[in-house]
Amino acid sequence: MILHVDMDAFFAAVEQRDRPDLAGKPVIVGADPKGRGVVSTCSYEARRFGVRSAMPIREAFRRCPQGVFLPVRMEQYAADSRRIMEILGRFTPLVEPLSIDEAFLDVSGCERLFGPPEQMAQRIKQTILEETRLPCSVGVAPNKFLAKLATELGKPDGLTVITPERVQEVLSPLPVERVFGVGRRTAAVLESLGIRTVGELGRAPRAALVARLGPAAVSHMQDLAAGRDDRRVEPHRSPKQLGSERTFEHDVSDVGEMRRSLLALSGDVGAGLRRQGFTTIAVRLKVRTEDFATFTRAMRLPRETASDRTLYRAACHLLDASMPELPVRLLGVAACELRTGGEPVQGTLFGPPPEEVRAARVDAAVDSVRRRFGTQALRPAALVSKPKPPKAP
């Protein structure tokens, strides 16, 4: 049996715990409501007004002007996350964190210590609540897909069990959007075929689906519709990508300002790669325009790297190749296909170019200075604001 543990409105719950006066109030954690960012998390009280994660912060303020808007305190959330993951590790060594506030647990064979899975889930909920004063929801099921679905069906502060005997009873009436991988466009295609529920998806003729969606997508969707998911819990799963984004205070049309943002974002990603011992062989650019249209572009690199400069050049190339017609609201840079030092890679006859060797030495020196004096101790000159001239007396 698999357990899925998900903290309820995590960031907002931390704020309500640390400030008891916020209990029962609509709390919205994210950007300044007068600015241009998005909602990171909101309490369930705020969700009643239609506020949700990733919503533009100004839209959240329009829907819930009486809400309490708070900045993100990531250090505090990370500290609580570490405590929660430590608690989960007491029940089984097979814990796979999915994000800062959720994880899968494989509890097979742990019954002698903690009782049946449902009893174990209740003990986990109680332990987290007692030691962190934070609520969570837990799903119990035979596989990952069903366990996560069970959690979603029971939120907030729920404990939902899907036994093998109840799989089709639970799945069949649900809308197809509950199947992982079925987004708005795929749901529209399925609806055009008369398919609106998970049960209808499972019973639909495969040939008709393949003609519209392709064999791989159909196999994936129909497996999940039947409750089949053979993914294992991976305790030491490496991240698939590492990225950084920036939402501008005002829509940007100036290419120079976009490039400066890419320089800062590439530096953040490069520092993160080196800090965690990764390299990358691919870079992805994310662009969101003023009308909220979002597109991504990616390219593979000639060799793996963790160099700020190489990431920046790739990001600029992607931007130049797909310059949007509308002003830009958000830019993001991500390193994809991450690799560790222990993975085999194809070597070159003469080793890396001298320029890359020098860049790696510079990055290492900069990292050393920043560890000692702070992240702002050394920055590219292009990112240093010019001092304003003094006013005339």
Q: State the catalytic residues.
A: 102
Burial (CB < 10 A; 0-12, 13-18, 19+), residue 231, is exposed
Compute the distance between CA of residue 291 and CA of residue 312 in angstroms, rounded to an integer. 26
Dihedral sign, Cα of residue 44, residue 47, residue 49, residue 51: positive
Burial (CB < 10 A; 0-12, 13-18, 19+), residue 269, is buried
**Long-range contacts for 173-177 (Cβ within 8 Å, ≥24 apart)?**
173/197, 173/198, 173/199, 174/198, 176/200, 176/201
For the chain, how big is the Rg over CA atoms in Å? 24
Compute the distance between CA of residue 117 and CA of residue 181 in angstroms, rounded to an integer. 28
Compute the distance between CA of residue 299 and CA of residue 302 in angstroms, rounded to an integer. 10
- Count of CB atoms situated within 10 Å of the CB of 346: 6
- Intra-chain end-to-end CA distance of the chain, in Å: 75
Cβ distance 53 to 40 under 8 Å?
yes
Compute the distance between CA of residue 112 and CA of residue 338 in angstroms, rounded to an integer. 39
- Name residue 70's beta-bridge partners: 29
C-alpha closest to that of 227 among 287, 164, 177 = 164
CA dist list (Å): 391 to 328, 384, 385, 386, 387: 33, 21, 17, 15, 12
Compute the distance between CA of residue 221 and CA of residue 205 in angstroms, rounded to an integer. 13
